[in-house]
Amino acid sequence: MSTVLYEHPLNERIRNYLKLEQFFAQIYSCLNNNLSIKTSHQVFFSALFSIIDTLERNDVRGDLIKDLEKLEQSLVIWSQAPDIDTTALEMNLSEAVKLIAHLRVPQPTWCKLKEDKLLASLKQRFAIQGGSSSFDLPQLHFWLHQGEAETKQEMQHWFNLLTDISSSLALVLKFIRQRAVFETIEVDSGFYQDNGEGILLLRIKIASDAPYYPTVSGNKFRYSIRFMLPCQYTGRRYANQATVFQLARC
């Protein structure tokens, strides 16, 4: 049975992680699919500038270092367990140690993005509704009409400056998601709530042909899941009906 996966963070740190993961996925798609730069550049630059803003406004690097250090300690403990996959464990441990060292440098590589003159001029206009039109940004129009190989190479260079952040994020989120397995839950009225203590992330799977979707509210103490139905008149309405879903409390 095919399903749709919904994820909801229960603290600000994980919220930032999920936002960044989505922005990185958009950049990766622009770089690795056969998309024309002239049509995909809006997605690329919007995602790139959103990453820069998120990193500037939050101590994401510090949070990642702490999470990687905790992961390193856990991996060392797990190495003593019998029947452990030592090859996979050593690979992840080595990756965590390497990323911690890279993130601890005094001047993070991503800061070079703020020094790029082209990006600086584009970023100001992208913050304005409709401000990235060709008549407002002739330098962008000029850049887009350079050789495809040249523009792709420059885009890849910008993305490479974020590799330490993206790789650390991927490793941390992988192990957070592996903290819990999915269990099937049935409710009578389209509403579910539970204790949120110790939970960082909720993962909800629903059958792709189900007529409802979840909305989540909560924090580290308590959370609730209310299932909704699309409505032509009000946008959405409560699904006060028997509901089946799968939930992983990570």
**Per-domain boundaries in the chain:** 12-177, 183-249
Ranges of residues in the chain whose predicted pLDDT is under 70: none
pLDDT at position 128: 79
Which two structure tokens, joined as six digits, stand for 146?
């350079």
Q: CA-CA distance, 223 to 192, in Å (whole number)?
A: 9
Reading phi first (left if > 0) and then psi (alpha if -120 to 50, else beta), residue 235 is in: left
Query: What fold characterizes domain 183-249?
Result: YacF-like (2.60.440)
**Class at the top of the CATH hierarchy for domain 12-177:** mainly alpha
Please write the tens of the pLDDT for every residue from 126-164.
887 777 777 778 898 899 888 888 888 999 999 999 999
CB atoms within 10 A of CB 166: 20
Nearest to 161 by CA among 118, 116, 98, 110: 110
Element (H, E) at 231: strand 222-231
Which two structure tokens, joined as six digits, stand for 44?
């690329």
pLDDT at position 136: 78
Please write the tens of the pLDDT for every residue from 1-29.
799 999 999 999 999 999 999 999 999 99
